[in-house]
Amino acid sequence: MKSSREYFNAAGMKMSRPRLSILAPFYKDDPVPLVLALCDQIEAASDCVEIVLFDDGEPDPALNRTVERTLSQLNFPACLVTSGRNVGRAAARNRLAMAARGEWLLYLDADMDVPQAFIDTYIAAMDHAGFDAVFGGYEPGPAHDPRHRLHAALAATSDVHDAASRTRIGATAVCSSNLLVRRSLMEAVPFDDSFTGWGWEDVDWAVRADQHGVLSHLDNPARHDGWQDVSTLLSKYRDAATNYARLLDKHPQLARLPGAKAANWLRRIPGQSLLRGLWASMARARLFPMRARTLALKLWRASWAAEALHS
């Protein structure tokens, strides 16, 4: 089995310890636009900032080479960690934390974009930190492709909340993208890498971290442009059911969440799995109102969660 390798650009090899490390894992998604969007802000920042990227399994060697060339041209410290095998979202974030040298760690997704003053807002928050981790929020980008509009609509109804609303929701409103964490908290509470595949490792982390440190919320949203088509979403939600069952097993108090209530309700309906074909067809059918399609997608997700909870 191949081990991981690390590439440091010239600035990274000379650098003293930065205050902030910006961390982004990627798997096929191109992180170069995010890096370029951050360049001016990092160079103008009052504190030393580095970027660390993690290529999870190098599924696209050409992309890996492009990323390395991009980092080589930067005037600020940057590192590319390339894994010899795919380790998954939780383990990738832990590996990024190990490679980072900053006092603070800022997790972003590779397919995100950031607004002006994004880094300055976080540095100001760090200067007056009464927290150990803060989630800056999420802003959906436009879905120009009709195949992606269901995903964008689902995100707009489920994931977009201001800081006040997220504070009322609590730890379960924290996501692992656009998350600023004090290094000491991440060392004490790493991501649980037994969550494999996609989904729920960030909620598990937040619930555990909330017991060790102070979690907070801030209005400093990053924009997410990584929309996916309906077939991909159906597959991801089906495969994530095992992770969801693991989450509820570790944290029984989360049974109060709407998704858990829906799954437990469906468990009591004989033959509920036979309805999945109907829900999948409704989610795909553009003739249905978007509200009906998002409901069908949620029922599909809850149906697979119900089966995982039952097993």
| Alpha-carbon torsion, ordered 263, 161, 190, 239, to 10 deg | 30
pLDDT band at 161 (very low <50, low <70, confident <90, very high): confident
CATH 3.90.550.10 fits 5-228, yes or no: yes
Phi/psi at 87 (5° precision): -110, -15
pLDDT computed for residue 311 by the predictor = 61
pLDDT computed for residue 142 by the predictor = 83
Average pLDDT over residues 210-216: 95
Higher pLDDT, 309 or 231: 231
The DSSP call for residue 176 is: S
CB 76 within 8 A of CB 13: no
pLDDT computed for residue 47 by the predictor = 80
Average pLDDT over residues 139-159: 85
CA distances from 138 to 88, 159, 192, 273 (A): 22, 7, 23, 33
- Quote the CA–CA distance of 301 and 240 in Å, as a whole number: 9
Q: Please list the residue range(s) of the chain that carry CATH number 3.90.550.10.
A: 5-228
- Quote the CA–CA distance of 24 and 4 in Å, as a whole number: 16
Q: Decide the pairing of beta strands 78-82 and 5-8.
A: antiparallel
